[in-house]
């Protein structure tokens, strides 16, 4: 594919990415929404975060993996505990990365 066609494809990608990002917030921000809609939208962050995170921990290679080799899954345990007990956001991230680095060193 020549570079001009690639560029035009990128412009198409830009449009189809931007429109779903912009339309809802532009259309809804000023509007008074019915109570059930607000409540439903209130569940979206927790649902979408979990929907993105859980598969990446349980099946990083697109198959369920509960073995010790699945470092992403086991590193989640100390990350979760540190976040829960110390309530430190940075602490959780550092713990997670450290555990993955150590896991790679010793387990693989």
- Of residues 69 through 108, those in contact with another protein by CB under 8 A are 72, 75-76, 79-80, 83-84, 87, 89-90, 92-93, 95-101, 104
Q: Does the footprint of another protein cover residue 1 (CB under 8 A)?
A: yes
CB of 19 to another protein, least distance (A): 9
For another protein, which residue of 34, 46, 61, 106 counts as binding (CB under 8 A)?
46
- Tell me if 64 sits within 8 A of 55, measured CB to CB: no
Q: Does the footprint of another protein cover residue 30 (CB under 8 A)?
A: yes
Q: Does the footprint of another protein cover residue 21 (CB under 8 A)?
A: yes
Whole-angstrom distance, CA of residue 62 vs CA of residue 70: 12
Whole-angstrom distance, CA of residue 54 vs CA of residue 38: 25
For another protein, which residue of 11, 34, 67, 106 counts as binding (CB under 8 A)?
11
Q: Does the footprint of another protein cover residue 34 (CB under 8 A)?
A: no
69 φ/ψ angles, rounded to the nearest 5 degrees: -75, -15
Whole-angstrom distance, CA of residue 15 vs CA of residue 10: 9
Q: Does the footprint of another protein cover residue 23 (CB under 8 A)?
A: yes
């Amino acid at each position: 594919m020549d570079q001009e066609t690639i560029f035009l494809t990128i412009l198409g990608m830009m449009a189809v990415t931007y429109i779903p990002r912009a339309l809802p917030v532009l259309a809804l921000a000023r509007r008074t929404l019915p109570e059930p809609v607000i409540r439903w939208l209130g569940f979206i962050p927790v649902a979408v975060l979990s929907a993105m995170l859980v598969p990446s921990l349980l099946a990083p290679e697109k198959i369920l993996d509960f073995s010790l080799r699945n470092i992403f899954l086991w590193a989640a345990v100390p990350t979760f505990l540190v976040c829960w007990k110390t309530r430190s956001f940075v602490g959780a991230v550092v713990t997670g990365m450290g555990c993955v680095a150590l896991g790679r060193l010793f387990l693989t």
